[in-house]
Amino acid sequence: MTAAGESGLTVSYLLGTTAGGTGRHVVMLVGGCAARGARVTVYGPAAALGRLSRDRGAASAGHGDAGPGGAPHGVAGRAAGDPPAWVSCPVEIAERPRLASDAAAVRRLRRLLARDMPDVLHAHGMRAGAVAALALAGSPARRTALAVTVHNAPPAGGAAAAVYAGLELIVARRADAVLTVSGDLADRMRRRGARDAGRALVPAPQAVPPSPRDAEAVRRELGSAGRPVVLAVGRLTAQKGFTTLIEAAARWQRRDTGPLSSAPALDSAVPLLVIAGEGPQDALLRGQARAGGVAVEFLGARGDVPTLLGAADVVVVPSTWEGQPLIVQEALRAGRPLVASRVGGIPDLTGEDGAVLVPPGDPALLAAAVAGVLDAPEAREKLAAAALGRAALLPTETAAVDQALSLYRRLAGPARTGLR
C-alpha cells in the first residue's frame, strides 16, 4: 500500500500509452521525487509501466494487482546503489477513446485512489488527465489534488479533434493545476477554462560529449566518406515532419553539380541524410526515399544519440509541432548547427540565434536553410557558438524536480511541507 514516506507527501502518477520524451520525463520525476523522500506510485498501462521500469534500470519490476485475486502492487526492485523504489499498478488506458474500456479504466483508478489516498495525482497526457479527472469525481472524503501535464498539441481536425476538445474541457475545468510544454498550449488550456495553467520544465538528460574518435567511427559506420552529414532524430510519425525532410533532401541532389547557395560549400558531394528512430511511418519514409532517389540512412532506434550528434554537420528538426523536444536541447548542448521548425516551444529553447528557424511543411525553405548552413563556414561557427550559449539557459533535471515538488506541496496544502 502507499503509506506516507519520510517526507509526509504521497504522489501518484498516471500515464497513458506514453512513448519517447513523455515517458522519459515521467521517469525523471518519479526518480527525483522518490529520491527526495516522497512516496511514489505509478499507474498506467502495463506496457508503459514496463518501459518505465526498464528505463530506470530497476533490478526487477512487477506489475501485480492485475488479476482477480488482487495481488499486491509491483515494486521496482532495488539492490545496493539502485534508484529509490517506487510502486506501480496497471490501469489500462487505450491509445484511442473507447467507451467501455475508458469506463473500466475510470472505475479501476477510482478504486486504487480510494485505497492509496495520494495527496496529489499527476496525470501525463490529455487522455490520462481526463481519466484521472473522472475518477476523482467519485473520490473518497479525503481529497486528492489533480495536476495534469499536457505534452502534445491537439489533432488537426476530424472526429479525433472533436473528441480531444471534449477531453480538454474535462481537464481544464476539473484539474487543480495544468502544466504545458509550450506557451501556445498554456494559452489554449486557459481558453478552455483552466484556472491554474503554467509551463512544465522538460529537460533533456545530460550526456557525456563523445570523443572525436567515437564521432569519426560513427561517420565511418555511416559511410559518409567526406560527405556532409545531416542528422534527424525522432519517432517516425507524421508530427516529426520527416516526409518534408525527405522532399527537401531531394533538392540536395543538385549539390553534386555545385552548392545550392553562392557561398563556399562544405563539400561538393551530396549531403547524406541520416534519420535515427523508429515508428509507424518507417515503410512510408523508406519508400519515399527510394522513389525520389534520395540518399538516406535509416538507423532505427539508437542509444548513442550524443555520438551521432558529434558526427553531424547539421541537425534538422522539421516537426509540425513540438513542445520542448529533447533532440533540440541535446543539439544545443552539443553545440551543433541546428535547423528547426518555428513551431510550439522550439523558439523558446533556441531563441532567434541558436538555430535557423523555418516554417513547418515547406521543403523548399527547409532545403535552402540546410544548404545555407552547409555552404557557409561562418554561419556554422556562429550557430554552434550560439547553440552553446542557449544550452546554458536550458532547464536542468534538478530544476524540473524542484518545480514539481513545489507544485505538489502547494496542492497538498500547508501541512505537508517536509520534503528534504
262-303 pLDDT tens trace: 334 444 578 999 999 999 999 999 999 999 999 899 999 999
Sheet holding 120-124, edge to edge: 74-75, 87-90, 39-44, 10-15, 120-124, 145-150, 177-180, 197-199
For the chain, domains (ranges, CATH) are 10-203+396-412 (3.40.50.2000), 212-391 (3.40.50.2000)
> Residue 124: its pLDDT value, please?
96
> Residue 48: its pLDDT value, please?
84
Q: Is the dihedral of CA 24, 25, 31, 32 positive or negative?
A: positive
> Residue 96: its pLDDT value, please?
80
109 CB-near residues (< 8 Å, 6+ apart): 14, 43, 91, 131, 132, 135
Per the structure block, which three cell numbers stand in for 272? 547524406
pLDDT < 70 stretches in the chain: 1-7, 18-20, 55-84, 139-142, 254-268, 414-420
For residue 120, give Cα distances in angstroms to 42, 83, 181, 196, 413. 12, 22, 20, 15, 10
> Residue 54: its pLDDT value, please?
74
> Residue 261: its pLDDT value, please?
41
- C-alpha 205/C-alpha 227 separation (Å) is 30
> Residue 223: its pLDDT value, please?
87
237 CB-near residues (< 8 Å, 6+ apart): 279, 280, 281
The burial class, CB within 10 Å (0-12 / 13-18 / 19+), for 47 is: middle
Per the structure block, which three cell numbers stand in for 297? 540512412
Q: How many CB atoms lie within 10 A of CB 96?
A: 10
> Residue 265: its pLDDT value, please?
46
- CB 309, CB 315: distance < 8 Å: yes
